[in-house]
Amino acid sequence: MLVKGIWSTCALIPCLVVPEIGGLNPFSRLKTLHLNISKNIQLANPSFNQPQKVDLLLGADVFFGLLCVGLIKLCDGQPTLQKNRVGCLVTGSLWSGAQGGQNNLKSMHISLKEL
């Protein structure tokens, strides 16, 4: 698969195609209205808070090769953004109305388009 990042970065990634990697992730919609994410920050997956199928599972060698220098701490009690060649990744605790409390988001979402 040829993957194009947001900064004119391209990578050819060998892939094993399988019918399904896992269930929906996250399993329920997460509230994001309280997040202070600036409009000029491009997220790797702008709809990270909505349940979606997993499209691609990256190995550690590929994942760490995509990371860039830069963490953006939003506020106390809010997630951190990690700069990446395909956009910013959202990581940390988010409020989920479906669960009635804070949840640790244990997944990373990147929206990829096959070229």
Is residue 22 domain-resident?
Answer: no
Specify whether the CB–CB gap between 83 and 71 falls below 8 A.
Answer: yes
Task: Calculate the alpha carbon distances from 106 to 5, 12, 16 in Å.
Answer: 23, 26, 23
The answer to whether residue 115 scores a pLDDT higher than 50 is: no
Domain assignment present for 40: yes
Q: What is the mean pLDDT of residues 22-43?
A: 84
Task: Decide if 43 is inside a domain.
Answer: yes
Other C-beta atoms closer than 10 Å to the C-beta of 66 total: 20
Band of residue 81 on the pLDDT scale cut at 50, 70, 90: very high
User: Would residue 84 count as lying in a domain?
Assistant: yes
Tell me if 56 is assigned to some domain.
yes
Structural domain including 99 reads: 2-16+29-105
- Decide: pTM greater than 0.85: no
Q: What confidence score (pLDDT) does residue 82 get? A: 92
Task: Tell me if 11 is assigned to some domain.
Answer: yes
Which tens digit of pLDDT belongs to each residue from 56-80? 788 888 888 888 898 998 887 788 9
The answer to whether position 24 is within a domain reads: no
User: How many domains is the chain built from?
Assistant: 1
Which 3 state secondary structure label does DSSP give 35?
coil
Asked, for residue 44, whether it belongs to a domain, the answer is yes
Q: What integer best gives the mean pLDDT of the chain?
A: 76
